[in-house]
Amino acid sequence: MADYQPDTDQVLVKRDHQVVTLTLNRPEARNALSDELTMALRGAIAWAAADDSVRAVVLTGAGGAFCAGGDDKAMGRRSEISPPSLQAQYQAMVARHQELSGALVAMRKPTIAALPGPAAGAGMALALACDLRIAADTAFLSTAYVRDGLSGDYGIAWLLSRIVGPGRARELMLTGDRVQAAEALAMGLVNRVAAAEKLASATMELATQLASGPPTAMAYMKDNLDEALSVDHRTAIEREADRLLKSRSTADHREAVRAFAEKRAPVFTGE
């Protein structure tokens, strides 16, 4: 499958072997989610999920921000024109959110959000939709919705509750407080913090490590993890056993056994 090429420069797509980096590229607007950007990002995420040669995905922002959330100026322009019906607005919004944060959560490949700076509102939701988050020491996160008189979107309440727990999630949603990188690390909101000048290299090192893993087994791991908070222990055991047997039948498992015996690193192919 050919690499995805957006028809806008508001999303940049770069491949480094098996790692693809998707960069939100509106630095003048702190990478706020314009209609043009979100449409291109939806296409890029769908392509990365479907292309078997892509083994890990990094989502980041250009300049000094990750993503400031929705584009307030665009919202203002929309309010000046006759809006479509509420049902049409709802359908368009759900489709957009499902194909962005929903698609990131559904992706069976490792995903990393690299935060060079602020991640606010919908931008924070996109970061939370990734498997892992690595932040520059100068970055911060904020739900931000309360300051705009909004209730939240992109599934952020669901994501937050699972990542930091319901008590913390309520505090972060209701206050909109900024959480600096060190505090975000302490509460589990981000997984790692790096010096700002080392964020790109630290992210690529982690992404390369994940991309070298066994794709089928990692996809099954994500299935297990996704179900962990919604099924009982007995069901979890049964489903893990089913997936373990499936992964044990793969060429990647046989390669891992050979590599262990030969005292070398395994080379996984996804077969």
Cβ-based neighbour number of residue 242 at 10 Å? 12
What does the pLDDT average to over 206-216? 97
Instruction: Name, in order, each residue with C-beta under 8 angstroms of 4's C-beta and a sequence gap of 6 or more.
Output: 13, 43, 44, 47, 48
Whether the CB-CB separation of 255 and 267 falls below 8 Å is answered with: yes
Is pLDDT above 80 for 230? yes
Cβ-based neighbour number of residue 139 at 10 Å? 27
Per-residue pLDDT tens digits for 68-106: 998 866 655 555 566 788 999 999 999 999 999 999 999
- How far, CA to CA in Å, does 80 sit from each of 70, 73, 151? 17, 11, 22
Phi then psi for 42, rounded to 5 degrees? -60, -45
Alpha-carbon distance of 193 to 139, in angstroms, equals 9
For domain 11-211, the CATH superfamily is: 2-enoyl-CoA Hydratase; Chain A, domain 1 (3.90.226.10)
Whether the CB-CB separation of 68 and 30 falls below 8 Å is answered with: yes
Alpha-carbon distance of 182 to 1, in angstroms, equals 40
Per-residue pLDDT tens digits for 100-142: 999 999 999 999 999 999 999 999 999 999 999 999 999 999 9
What does the pLDDT average to over 193-200? 98
Spell out the domain ranges in the chain.
11-211, 215-261
Alpha-carbon distance of 110 to 211, in angstroms, equals 8
User: How much is the pTM?
Assistant: 0.94
